[in-house]
C-alpha cells in the first residue's frame, strides 16, 4: 500500500525545501516499515537513515503524559488532586493540566547554545482563567507536571521517563533533554531557508518539548505504551474533551471522534522540528513521521499520504487540533481604554484607542505606538497584533511583536498581551510570552 512512499517523500522534500524525513510504521507489535530520505546534515552531506534521531517538540507530550499516568497507577499521585501552587483560582488538577484545561496561557521559551535559559518561566506561570473553564494549549502545564513527577518520585523527569516508560518498552533511540547525547547521529535542525540551528536548545518546559527519538522508536511507543497502563487509566487517556466536531484532547493525546476508527495523535513543531505520531488502536497501527525543518508542509504531506493509505476514511480533520473560535467583526464602540500589562518587571501602562474605522491604536509607556486592524471571535472581543516590542528584558530577547486578546467583562477589557516572533524567517525562532492585561474605559 505504500509502494510509492519513496517517490512521494522525495517530491515533498523538494517541493517544500525540507532537508530530510524519517518514516516508521508499526503494526501488531512489529515495525513493518522504517525508511528515511534526504540529508540529516546538509553541510556534511550526511544522509538520513532510520537510525537518525530527530527532535520531537510537542510530540514529547504523550510520553510525559504516560509517565504521569504511571505515577498515578503507582499511587504516587492522584489525577484529580490539585497541583500545589499559588493562584487566583483554586489550583488545577493533574488531569486538567494533562488536558490543557488548567488555566495557564500559551507559552514557549527557547535558549540556544550552552548555559541556562535567560527567561524565568515561573514569572509566567499564572492562571489566566479558572481551571476547567476552557482549553488553552499550555506548555506551562507540562512544566508543572514535570516538577510534580520529580517531587513524588525523587527522580529527575528524564530519569523517571527512562525508567518507567522508555526502558520497559525497549526504546533505546529515545532521550529527554536539550540535545541528543549520541552515540548515533541526530538530524541537524534547519530554518525553512536552510540555516542550521545549534545542536542544543534548552527550554523551561522539557516535558512538553525536549524529546528526541528515532521514528522507529516513536512508532513503537505509539504501538506499545498502552500495555504499561491500567485499563481504567488507559480509558481516561482516550477520553478526549472536545476541541471541535472532529477531535478532542485526552491525557496527552489528541483523540478523533465521529465515524471510522479512533485516531490518537500528537504533532510537534519548533525551530527546525516538524513531527507527528499517530496511532489507531482498533488496527493496532502506529505511524511516526519526523522532519528537520520548521516548515510543517513536507511533514503534513507525508503524514497525509501514509494515513490515507492505511486508515479507512482518513481525513486531516482527524489529527488537526484546531479549536473552534471563528473570527467576527470587532464591534466595540470608538473610545480610549487605559490600563496595564503585568510583567516580571512590574505593571506597565498602555493605552488602546479604538478608532471609528475599527482599527486600534496602541501606545506603550516608552512612547512606542502603532495602529493595526482589529477583529473579534467567540472567545475575545478584541484581537490585534502590532509591530511593537514590550519594553521588558524578556521581550527584548526574542519577542519583537505584541498581540492583544481581550474580552469585555463587567465594563473592563481583560485577557492577555502576548509577545512573540513571527516564525524564523530572520534569525531563530523566538519566545512566546503571555502577560495579564486589563483595561478600563
For 329-340, give the DSSP string.
Answer: E--PPSEEEEEE
222: phi then psi, degrees, rounded to nearest 5:
-60, -30
Task: Indicate the DSSP class of residue 236.
Answer: H
For every one of its 441 residues, what pLDDT tens digit does the chain have, with 9 covering 90 and above?
799 999 999 999 999 999 999 999 999 999 999 999 999 999 999 999 999 999 999 999 999 999 999 999 999 999 999 998 878 899 999 999 999 999 999 999 999 988 777 899 999 999 999 999 999 999 999 999 999 999 999 999 999 999 999 999 999 999 999 999 999 999 999 999 999 999 999 999 999 999 999 999 999 999 999 999 999 999 999 999 999 999 999 999 999 998 899 999 999 999 999 999 999 999 999 999 999 999 999 999 999 999 999 999 999 999 999 888 889 999 999 999 999 999 999 999 999 999 999 999 999 999 999 999 999 999 999 999 999 999 999 999 999 999 999 999 999 999 999 999 999 999 999 999 999 999 999
DSSP strands (E only) in 15-83: 20-27, 30-41, 46-47, 53-57
Give the relative orientation of helices 297-310 and 5-16 as an angle to the nearest 10 degrees.
160
Query: Which pLDDT score, from 0 to 100, does residue 217 have?
Result: 98
Q: What pairing do the DSSP bridges indicate for beta strands 247-249 and 254-256? A: antiparallel
Coil, strand, or helix at residue 426? coil
| H or E segment to which residue 174 belongs | strand 174-176
Q: What share of the chain is helix, strand, coil (3-state, %, to 5)?
A: 25, 35, 40
* Alpha carbon distance 291, 272 (integer Å): 8
DSSP strands (E only) in 308-399: 327-329, 335-343, 346-354, 359-364, 369-373, 375-377, 382-386
Query: Which pLDDT score, from 0 to 100, does residue 379 have?
Result: 93
Q: Domains in the chain, start-ordered, CATH in brackets?
A: 5-318 (3.40.710.10), 327-440 (2.40.128)
Using CB atoms within 10 A of its CB, is residue 243 exposed (0-12), middle (13-18) or buried (19+)? Answer: buried
Q: CB of 351 within 8 A of CB of 370?
A: no
The three grid cell numbers given for residue 344, joined into one nine-digit string: 516580571
* Alpha carbon distance 272, 254 (integer Å): 23
Amino acid at each position: 500500500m505504500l509502494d510509492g512512499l519513496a517517490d512521494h517523500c522525495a517530491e515533498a522534500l523538494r517541493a517544500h525545501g525540507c532537508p530530510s524525513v524519517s518514516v516508521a510504521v508499526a503494526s501488531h507489535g512489529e515495525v513493518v516499515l522504517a525508511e528515511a530520505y534526504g540529508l540529516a546534515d546538509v553541510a556534511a552531506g550526511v544522509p538520513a537513515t532510520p537510525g537518525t534521531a530527530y527532535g520531537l517538540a510537542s510530540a514529547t507530550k504523550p510520553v510525559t503524559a504516560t509517565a504521569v499516568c504511571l505515577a498515578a497507577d503507582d499511587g504516587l499521585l492522584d489525577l484529580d488532586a490539585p497541583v500545589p501552587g499559588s493562584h487566583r483560582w483554586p489550583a488545577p488538577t493533574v488531569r486538567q493540566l494533562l488536558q490543557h484545561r488548567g488555566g495557564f496561557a500559551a507559552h514557549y521559551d527557547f535558549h540556544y547554545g550552552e548555559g541556562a535559559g535567560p527567561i524565568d518561566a515561573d514569572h509566567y506561570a499564572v492562571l489566566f482563567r479558572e481551571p476547567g473553564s476552557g482549553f488553552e494549549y499550555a506548555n506551562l502545564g507540562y512544566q508543572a507536571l514535570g516538577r510534580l513527577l520529580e517531587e513524588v518520585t525523587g527522580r529527575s523527569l528524564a530519569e523517571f521517563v527512562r525508567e518507567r516508560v522508555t526502558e520497559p518498552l525497549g526504546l533505546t533511540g529515545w532521550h529527554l533533554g536539550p540535545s541528543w547525547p549520541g552515540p548515533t547521529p541526530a538530524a541537524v535542525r534547519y530554518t525553512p531557508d536552510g540555516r542550521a540551528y545549534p545542536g542544543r536548545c534548552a527550554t523551561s518546559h522539557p516535558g512538553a518539548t525536549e524529546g528526541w527519538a528515532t521514528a522507529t522508536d516513536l512508532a513503537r511507543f505509539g504501538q506499545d505504551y498502552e500495555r504499561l497502563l491500567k485499563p481504567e487509566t488507559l480509558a481516561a487517556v482516550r477520553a478526549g474533551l472536545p476541541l471541535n466536531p472532529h477531535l478532542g484532547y485526552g491525557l496527552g493525546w489528541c483523540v478523533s471522534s465521529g465515524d471510522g476508527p479512533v485516531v490518537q495523535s500528537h504533532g510537534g513543531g519548533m525551530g527546525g522540528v516538524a513531527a507527528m505520531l499517530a496511532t489507531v488502536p482498533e488496527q493496532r497501527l502506529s505511524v511516526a513521521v519526523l522532519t528537520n525543518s520548521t516548515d510543517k508542509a513536507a511533514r503534513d504531506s507525508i503524514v497525509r499520504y501514509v494515513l490515507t493509505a492505511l486508515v479507512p476514511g482518513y481525513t486531516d480533520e482527524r489529527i488537526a487540533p484546531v479549536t473552534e473560535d471563528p473570527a467576527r467583526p470587532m464591534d466595540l464602540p470608538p473610545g480610549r481604554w487605559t490600563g496595564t500589562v503585568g510583567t516580571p518587571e512590574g505593571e506597565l501602562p498602555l493605552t488602546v484607542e479604538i478608532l471609528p474605522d475599527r482599527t486600534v491604536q496602541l501606545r506603550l509607556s516608552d512612547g512606542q505606538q502603532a495602529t493595526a486592524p482589529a477583529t473579534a471571535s467567540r472567545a475575545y472581543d478584541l484581537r490585534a497584533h502590532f509591530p511593537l516590542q514590550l519594553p521588558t528584558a524578556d521581550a527584548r530577547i526574542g519577542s519583537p511583536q505584541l498581540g492583544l486578546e481581550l474580552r469585555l467583562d463587567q465594563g473592563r477589557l481583560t485577557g492577555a498581551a502576548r509577545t512573540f516572533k513571527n516564525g524564523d524567517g530572520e534569525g531563530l525562532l523566538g519566545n512566546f510570552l503571555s502577560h495579564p492585561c486589563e483595561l478600563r474605559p
